[in-house]
Structure 1
Amino acid sequence: MPSSLISRLDDIVGPGSPVVSVAPIVLQAQDRPVPLEVRISAPSVGVDLPVILFSHGNGWNLDGYAPLAAFWASRGFVVVQPTHLDSRRNGFGFDHPVFPTIWTERITDLRRILDQLDTVEESVPGLAGRIDRSRVAAAGHSWGGQTAQALLGARIVDDEGRLVGDDLSDDRVGAGLLFAATGLAGDDLAPFARENFPFMRPSFQELTTPTLVVAGDHDQSRMSSRGPDWFTDAYRQSPGATDLVTLAGAELSLGGIVGYEVSETTDEDPERVAVLQRLSTAYLRTALRVDEGSWAAAREAFREGGAGVGRVESR
């Protein structure tokens, strides 16, 4: 039963602490069409806190994904959420001149945050001196998964499979979480995606950073005629993505990670979200050297008590 599984996972990730969340904080972003605003969420106690950079899905903003951000912060992480240019708040639609460059600007947003961690610390009362800059993860959902995976090492290829563009990986990032991140291109890719989304032609062979991939087994994208297995490609193809969680019955929103009772969630399931909160926390605790045994314990608990919730694979 999910409730007993959640209880076991709580024993692994530990109790939460009160969280301080501050927004909007404006970071320096030269030549960006609009200011770069971020939300910073951090536990009110603790030192040597790891950092999670979180990239939202298409159209969202720094106020989304509270079920993940607040939970991670309560368990000892500093979470920084930018509002990317594609946010509905900015009004840059598919036909806007800035749209073709948004996918690269998203990646630059995450790098800007890394460059300005001093400002991040100074913007939250009591946070200065408590961040461990040697422990940073990049995470993202849907389009945000593509954004995060670029920092983890993933590249872009042309129609012939040749690498194009620069290597945008960042050695300051030591772990990754990819939620419903789209997979490889090919004949299955929808014509609209082929014409407008160059980032949907990834190569995962260069992604060597330790990464957890999360997919829903009912997630059918309009961008590809492939089934839900499309969202597992990062795990199947990457040397760094050594762990995969597949959630039973989950669609793009993975149960509602964008927020509770959000209208676009088609598969709302608070217990599914609760399990994912704890699994992702356990993974990062191990990947970022907080607790070496956390992920192994959570993985075993999920395998033993996750019947009907999903499955975990590792290599």
Structure 2
Amino acid sequence: MPESRTATAPATTLTPTPVVSVKPVVLSAPGRGEDLRVRVSAPTTGHDLPVIVFSHGYSWSMDGYAPLADFWAARGFVVLQPTHLDSRTLDLPADDPRTPLIWRFRVEDMKRVIDQLDLLEASVPGLAGRLDRSRVAVAGHSWGAQTASMLLGARVLDSEGVPGEDLSDPRVSAGVLLALPGRGGDDLSPFAAEHFPFMNPSFDDMTAPVLVVAGDQDQSALSVRGPDWFTDPYFLSPADKSLLTLFGAEHSLGGIPGYGVAETTDESPERVALIQQFTWAFLRSALDPEDTGWPAACSALEEDPKPLGQVQSK
């Protein structure tokens, strides 16, 4: 049986450092129609820094998700945030010929960021020589989580249920998937089935260590199921996986896209703090077997009269 604990925010054991961010760093992207713009955030101190490539949700950009990017960067990660073609900052017309394939462009954006680590490193004064290219993780929220999952081994099933192309990236060692949609097929709403045929995933080959984060009040118009739809990536994938289920959380998970944004219908600084610390601890340990951050966080979870959530692992 999977291990299950009540979630309370663990203590942050690494003192945060000042962060420097540079944007936009422009990467040439032939065939994309737009150069790829990236935000780079890094701590001002430290060496052998691991990397997180973060994929934003629908219509967001490199400027979103500061509650996560700033927290991770202040505690030892270099965070790279590409702006995908669906960003409202690009205002791509709905009838643009690239629109049906934006999900593929998104995956290519993430891979291009990893391809161009040298350029991105050189864009930040004082960052040269401080990255650890052997420790790369991906993360994302909503559509961004779907994008990140593809680099971790998730695949899109065709109409016959046959897995499509393997778009995983061997340079990626772990991931955090926040509000990642679940199974397709009959679990999709008619609207989603018609407009988003790529929302038909298989998680069978998603073998890398992953933390799935889901809200137990995240009722999506894209599925005929309830909030448990967002737990599918955990239950339908092989180990090594963990699932953080947040009590009372809707799709913004308390406000991770940004401080005070209109889309956040379930604002909760406490919930965001828990996500910050649990994702940080998970990635530290997933990228360094000698790091005890995740085991320490899990061992610190104890019964609480007002729990924020629950963690399961397999």
Q: TM-score normalized by structure 2?
A: 0.95
Task: Give the match for residue 242 of structure 1.
Answer: 241
Task: Give the match for residue 185 of structure 2.
Answer: 186
Q: Quick one: which amino acid aligns to residue 216 of structure 1?
A: G
What is the rounded CA distance, in whole Å, between the counterparts of 2:94 and 2:289 in structure 1? 42
What is the rounded CA distance, in whole Å, between the counterparts of 2:223 and 2:38 in structure 1? 31
Provide Cα deviations, 1:71-109, integer angstroms capped at 9, x if missing partner: 000010000000000001111244332210110000000
Q: Quick one: which amino acid aligns to residue 284 of structure 1?
A: L
Task: Give the match for residue 127 of structure 2.
Answer: 127
Q: Quick one: which amino acid aligns to residue 134 of structure 2?
A: S
Unmatched 5+ residue regions in structure 1?
none
Kept after mapping to 1: 8 A contact 2:8/2:307: no
Query: What secondary structure, in the 3-state scheme, does the structure 1 residue paired with 2:233 have?
Result: helix
Q: Structure 1 residues 298, 307: CA separation in 2 closer, same or farther (over 3 Å shift)? A: farther
Q: Quick one: which amino acid aligns to residue 157 of structure 1?
A: L
Task: Give the match for residue 59 of structure 1.
Answer: 59
Q: Structure 1 residues 126, 306: CA separation in 2 closer, same or farther (over 3 Å shift)? A: farther
Query: What secondary structure, in the 3-state scheme, does the structure 2 residue paired with 1:302 have?
Result: coil
Unmatched 5+ residue regions in structure 2?
1-6
Kept after mapping to 1: 8 A contact 2:8/2:302: no
- For residues 168-207 of structure 1, the aligned pairs below 5 Å read 168-207=167-206
What is the rounded CA distance, in whole Å, between the counterparts of 1:97 and 1:81 in structure 2? 24
1:21 corresponds to 2:16: no
Task: Give the match for residue 167 of structure 1.
Answer: 166
Once the two structures are TM-superposed, the CA of residue 157 in structure 1 deviates from its matched residue by 0.5
What is the rounded CA distance, in whole Å, between the counterparts of 2:174 and 2:132 in structure 1? 14
What is the rounded CA distance, in whole Å, between the counterparts of 1:218 and 1:211 in structure 2? 22
Kept after mapping to 2: 8 A contact 1:67/1:259: yes
Task: Give the match for residue 75 of structure 1.
Answer: 75
Query: What secondary structure, in the 3-state scheme, does the structure 1 residue paired with 2:86 have?
Result: coil
Kept after mapping to 2: 8 A contact 1:303/1:311: no
Query: What secondary structure, in the 3-state scheme, does the structure 1 residue paired with 2:198 have?
Result: helix
Once the two structures are TM-superposed, the CA of residue 190 in structure 1 deviates from its matched residue by 1.4
- For residues 276-315 of structure 1, the aligned pairs below 5 Å read 276-289=275-288, 291-305=290-304, 307-315=306-314
Q: Which has the higher helix share?
A: 1
What is the rounded CA distance, in whole Å, between the counterparts of 1:36 and 1:306 in structure 2? 47
Kept after mapping to 2: 8 A contact 1:36/1:109: yes
Give me the CA root mean square deviation: 1.5
Kept after mapping to 2: 8 A contact 1:138/1:175: yes
Kept after mapping to 2: 8 A contact 1:234/1:241: no
What is the rounded CA distance, in whole Å, between the counterparts of 1:305 and 1:169 in structure 2? 39
Kept after mapping to 2: 8 A contact 1:303/1:312: no
Alignment identity in percent? Answer: 59
Q: TM-score normalized by structure 1?
A: 0.94
What is the rounded CA distance, in whole Å, between the counterparts of 1:5 and 1:234 in structure 2? 23
Once the two structures are TM-superposed, the CA of residue 290 in structure 1 deviates from its matched residue by 6.8
What is the rounded CA distance, in whole Å, between the counterparts of 2:86 and 2:117 in structure 1? 23
Kept after mapping to 1: 8 A contact 2:139/2:176: yes
What is the rounded CA distance, in whole Å, between the counterparts of 1:82 and 1:45 in structure 2? 23
What is the rounded CA distance, in whole Å, between the counterparts of 1:128 and 1:224 in structure 2? 45
What is the rounded CA distance, in whole Å, between the counterparts of 2:179 and 2:59 in structure 1? 15
Q: Quick one: which amino acid aligns to residue 80 of structure 1?
A: L
Kept after mapping to 1: 8 A contact 2:52/2:137: yes
Once the two structures are TM-superposed, the CA of residue 291 in structure 1 deviates from its matched residue by 4.7
Kept after mapping to 2: 8 A contact 1:56/1:144: yes
Query: What secondary structure, in the 3-state scheme, does the structure 2 residue paired with 1:118 have?
Result: helix
Q: Structure 1 residues 303, 185: CA separation in 2 closer, same or farther (over 3 Å shift)? A: farther
Q: Quick one: which amino acid aligns to residue 10 of structure 1?
A: T
Q: Quick one: which amino acid aligns to residue 209 of structure 1?
A: A
Task: Give the match for residue 11 of structure 2.
Answer: 9
Once the two structures are TM-superposed, the CA of residue 306 in structure 1 deviates from its matched residue by 8.4
What is the rounded CA distance, in whole Å, between the counterparts of 2:15 and 2:306 in structure 1? 25
Comparing 282-291 and 302-311, the one that deviates more: 302-311
What is the rounded CA distance, in whole Å, between the counterparts of 2:286 and 2:151 in structure 1? 16
